[in-house]
Amino acid sequence: MASDFSAIIFFWLPGIALVTCVFYSLLKKNEVDKRRGVIGAFVCLILVLLSPWTLSESDSSAFGHLIGVLIGPLVLILLGMYNIIFSIQPGTFQIAKDERTQGQIMLLFGILWLFAYHWIGYTPSYDGEVNRYWIIFFTTMLILSPLLFFAFAVLVSILGHERKNVSWLMGLIGFIAFQVLVITMVLDGSSVSSLDFSQHLAVSLLEIIGYGIGFLLAAIVFSGIVSVYEKSLPMMAQLEPPNQEELKYAREVIKLHLEGGFEDE
Amino acid sequence: MNSLDVKKALSLLFLLVLAYFFLVFSLADNINEATSKIYERRFWNAILTSFIIGSFMLLLTLVMYAESRRIRLPPAVGMLVSGGVGALLMLWLLPSLDVQLLEGNGTPLAQLLSNVLRYSATLLAALVSLIIGFGLFYSAMLPSKANIDWPSHREEE
């Protein structure tokens, strides 16, 4: 019981507060409120990151460990993306080439860092075994990335105008990402065998499908409730059609506007 | 771009997702009695977890909807009941009907919390994939070199 209480205090409360603070800072327009949200989120993130030490006996802290090991590669990926996206000057077609190159290098290193966790070493391990949330994270990312690039390729080829090169590029990146996925099923990682990893991939795939179905069901219930309440709302009071006097007044106003307004203007 | 193109694109996208999932699963799986049990449990846990979390997320939307329509709380109560039913289904009904959802966790509540963490890890991975995917897509859509034929706004002024 003491362990459950500690888990609530040291992991779940900061975790829930972290998500709440992030949404708070995103939704508030006032700068002071935004800053409060960011500071709150930062403090909660620190508490979640400390959970492997403050809550070492609980399984939940493995997730805090995952966040900790992902901070490095994720910061590189996000900074890289920021540099790539904002390397073009706003309102112009001028590109800061240095920033773009730096962004591409950061992105590449961020992704390679994640792959290094799997193949080269330092696989995130917690409590004497590979962190199970790391496996979920990595397998899901490997499954979704090629799909996303293939989807972009298909959408651009049908909906894009003179964007064949983009479509081919997205298809090529998707193909490379898919090859990486296949290689993980063939080559053993530093801590996980290819056979085990394949099984984790299958489980993650089923989970992704399950999450999709579950959310779809929730959305169906949601839309059902909204449509029931929309139908139950009383009709708005219908206005009477305009009478002759009102129509005559409207005609005069329109005529005045067409002729250039009132004389005193 | 017309509506026919959009329909065609969405249909192709749907087929692509189906074909891709089928291909990956056929490459990855090694179904035997033990693994099929794991697959079944994870699949049902995923559906229920997503339904519960999705219901509570949409509940917030419904609260705003109820405010805008001035119909107070009934829709939100509806969604709350929906999420609650999902949670009850997971904690009590399915385990009692021999649909095995527990995976080494001592209690249904521990299983639910473990599921929420698995869901969070999946969501984080999806978010990272989306950031990389959209970032590279946006980068590919940008011109690859400065186009001197297009003057900047500053030069125009």
What digits encode the pLDDT tens for the residues A158-189?
887 778 888 899 999 999 999 999 998 888 88
B48 reaches A (C-beta below 8 A): yes
Tokens describing residue B55: 């219901």
Q: Indicate whether B60 pLDDT > 80.
A: no
Spatial separation of the C-alpha atoms in residues A140 and B60, rounded to whole Å: 27
- Report the residue from B20, B35, B39 with minimal CB separation from A147: B20
Q: Residue B8: left (phi > 0), alpha (psi -120 to 50), or beta?
A: alpha
Q: Which two structure tokens, joined as six digits, stand for B62?
A: 């419904």
Interchain CB distance below 8 Å, B146 and A94: yes
Averaged confidence pLDDT in chain A: 85
Q: Is residue A103 over pLDDT 70?
A: yes
Q: Highest-confidence range of A53-62, A110-119, B2-11, by mean pLDDT?
A: A110-119
Q: Do residue A210 and residue B47 have CB atoms under 8 angstroms apart?
A: yes
User: How far is residue A166 CA from its own chain's centroid?
Assistant: 23
User: Which chain B residues have a beta carbon less than 8 Å from that of A12?
Assistant: 113
Say which residue, B153 or B23, is predicted with more confidence: B23
Residue carrying the six token digits 């996208």: B13
Q: Could you tell me if A118 and A138 are in contact, meaning their C-beta atoms sit under 8 angstroms apart?
A: yes
Q: How far is CA A6 from CA A16, A139, B120, in A?
A: 15, 30, 20
Instruction: Examine the pLDDT at A257 and tell me if it is beyond 90.
Output: no
Question: What is the average per-residue pLDDT within B52-70?
Answer: 78
Q: Which of B20, B42, B150 sits opposite A150 (nearest CB)?
A: B20
Which of B42, B124, B152 lies at the smallest CB-CB distance from A137?
B124
Res. A234 pLDDT band, cuts 50 70 90: confident
Backbone angles phi, psi at A126, to 5 degrees: -140, 130
pLDDT at residue B148 in the model: 41
Q: Output B86 or A140, whichever has higher pLDDT.
A: A140
What ranges make up the beta strands (E) of A55-174? 125-126, 129-130
Output B106 or A187, whichever has higher pLDDT: A187
For strands A129-130 and A125-126, give the pairing. antiparallel
pLDDT number for residue A225: 78
pLDDT of residue B100: 67
Tokens at residue A47, please? 């508490």
- The pLDDT score that the predictor gives to residue B149 is 46
User: Chain A: residue nearest B6 by CA?
Assistant: A159
Beta bridge partners of A126: A129
Q: How many CB pairs under 8 A join A and B?
A: 230
Amino acid (1-letter code) at residue A51: S
Q: pLDDT tens digits for B122-155?
A: 999 999 999 999 888 888 887 665 544 444 455 5
More confident residue, A205 or B3: A205
Report CB contact under 8 Å: A213, B50. yes
Determine whether the interchain pair A77/B132 forms a contact, defined as Cβ–Cβ distance below 8 Å. Answer: yes
Torsion of CA B63, B68, B74, B75, to 10 degrees: -60
Please state, in angstroms and rounded to a whole number, the distance separating the CA atoms of residues B71 and B63. Answer: 10
- Cβ atoms of B8 and B14 within 8 Å: the answer is no
CA-based radius of gyration for chain B: 23
What's residue A100's pLDDT? 80
* Average pLDDT in chain B: 76
Would you state the structure tokens that stand for residue A206, as one six-digit string?
A: 């089923």
pLDDT of A261 reads: 59
ipTM over 0.90: no
Whole-structure pTM value:
0.81
Task: Examine the pLDDT at A25 and tell me if it is beyond 90.
Answer: no
Flag if A12 and B65 touch (Cβ within 8 Å).
no
- Tell if the CB–CB gap between A63 and B50 is shorter than 8 Å: no
Residue B92 has pLDDT above 70, yes or no: no
What is the pLDDT, as a whole number, of residue B144? 62
CA of B32 vs chain A CAs: smallest distance (Å):
11
d(CA A205, CA A203): 5
Optimal mutation site among B7, B10, B30, B51, interface A, most CBs of chain A within 10 A: B51
Q: Do A140 and B140 touch (CB under 8 A)?
A: no
- Region A20-49 average pLDDT: 88
Q: What residue in B sits closest to A100 (Cα-Cα)?
A: B139
